[in-house]
Structure 1
Amino acid sequence: MSTSAEARGVSRGHLPGDLAMWFFILAELSVFAILILAFAVTQALKPQMFGESRQLLNTSTGLAMTLSLLTAGLFAALAQEQIRYSRPRHGAIFLLAALLAASVYVVLKLTEYRHLLGAGLGMEHNTFFTLYWILTGFHFLHVLLGMFILGWLAERCRRGLHNASNRSGFESGVLYWHMVDLIWVVLFPLVYVLN
């Protein structure tokens, strides 16, 4: 093992976070996989409706939401690196930056939801929008939970409760956020781009 790895408290074969969080993430990914499969199959059955409905979404907004979530994920990863070096206050700063980036997603998504509802494109409009609201709404709830977790971790870092030897809970929270990012990276092209 290298000296820099030892300084960070990283051991070979170390799985970050708690095993329970990995099982939880696997369960969540399974639910999303079923919803994504339902969307893809329905699109194959009704390509014209999905193509026409997709034109009613703003791809630029979807891209901006993607960038905000990925930026939040980057800041969360940088925070985790600070914890590996036992610098919890620096970790808290990066987590606050992650929350700020994630807030951009929340504002954009709520604005998009309001616009769609104002245009009469709710869940009952057609099959595309039924699946759109289910998929993106379920993901939106995960983003809100992820932001709560990041905020809680930032407060614990501010109080110096996470460091290189006590980081499992921290890593679990960051893993959850990365799951949220990963799901959106799949949802964005599926819902906004692919025909």
Structure 2
Amino acid sequence: MTMAPLSQADSTDEGGDLLLWVLVWSELAAFGILLFGYLVMSILHAETFDAAQLHLSSRIASINTIVLITSGWQAALAARKGASLLQQRVCLLLAAALGFLFVALKFIEYSSEWKYAGDETFSSFFELYFMITGFHLAHVAFVAGLFVLVARRPERGNILILTTVWHVIDLVWLVMFPLIYFG
């Protein structure tokens, strides 16, 4: 059985590149390990973690959830088949702007939480909290910056890759948000 070579049309895969899926699954695994560690510690130190959660701003985090989901919606609109170049650019820039708004709101939230990080009683909670949310925040800022770059010269493949990664970031936040703020 001989295999015919792939034509150029056959080799273009919309969002199914192996490296993309390796990245997606490695990100999910990394965040999964961090969140599992958080969950174990929250069970082992339930009273301390419950008390520390009272110092978090669930209101800002709730607003940030809406901001991040809206940003993901804009990214999805940019990735639609048939979206014009202008629509792609506008949606990518809106997704980026909302991503940067998420970052700004997170820093505002952090500003009221830093003082508790040094408290010996809450140190294990806040070490995990800042590590997990900071890692997530770095992903948001980085991909939002990539949205701006891709908006300059949008190509469908790049939009699909970034949108896929952005939805993974959304998914991680949707698991992280109730676990950390209300768990």
The interval holding the TM-score normalised by the smaller chain is 0.7 to 0.9
Q: d(CA) in 2 for partners of 1:122 and 1:90?
A: 47
User: What's the secondary structure of 1:69's corresponding residue?
Assistant: helix
- Matched with 1:192 is 181
User: What's the secondary structure of 1:57's corresponding residue?
Assistant: coil
* Residues 1:168 and 2:165 are matched in the alignment: no
Deviations 1:25-74 (A, max 9, x none): 11111111000000001111111001000001011111011111000000
CA RMSD after TM alignment:
1.8
Quote how far apart the aligned CAs of 1:21 are: 0.9
Unaligned runs of 5+ in 2: 1-9
**Letter of the structure 1 residue corresponding to residue 131 of structure 2:** I
- Matched with 1:148 is 145
Q: More deviation in 27-36 or 125-134? A: 125-134
**Letter of the structure 1 residue corresponding to residue 57 of structure 2:** N
**Letter of the structure 1 residue corresponding to residue 157 of structure 2:** S
Change (3 A) 1:85 1:128: same
- Matched with 1:7 is none
TM-score, structure 1 as length reference: 0.82
* Residues 1:121 and 2:117 are matched in the alignment: yes
User: What's the secondary structure of 2:117's corresponding residue?
Assistant: coil
Give 2:82's match in structure 1, choosing from 77, 80, 85: 85
Provide runs of 4+ in structure 1 moved above 3 Å. Answer: 122-125
Q: d(CA) in 2 for partners of 1:181 and 1:111?
A: 20
Q: d(CA) in 2 for partners of 1:51 and 1:142?
A: 27
Deviations 1:133-163 (A, max 9, x none): 1100111111111111211121112xxxx2x
**Letter of the structure 2 residue corresponding to residue 121 of structure 1:** A
**Letter of the structure 2 residue corresponding to residue 188 of structure 1:** F
**Equivalent pair of 1:17/1:170 in contact (CA under 8 Å):** no
- Matched with 1:106 is 103
Q: d(CA) in 2 for partners of 1:45 and 1:51?
A: 11
Quote how far apart the aligned CAs of 1:86 are: 5.2
- Matched with 2:6 is none
**Letter of the structure 2 residue corresponding to residue 190 of structure 1:** L
Matches within 5 A, 1:32-111: 32-81=31-80, 84-85=81-82, 87-111=84-108
**Equivalent pair of 1:123/1:129 in contact (CA under 8 Å):** no
Answer 1 or 2: which has greater helix percent.
2
**Equivalent pair of 2:75/2:163 in contact (CA under 8 Å):** yes
**Percent of aligned pairs sharing the same letter:** 32
Q: More deviation in 171-180 or 17-26? A: 17-26
**Equivalent pair of 2:14/2:157 in contact (CA under 8 Å):** no
Matches within 5 A, 1:127-146: 127-146=124-143
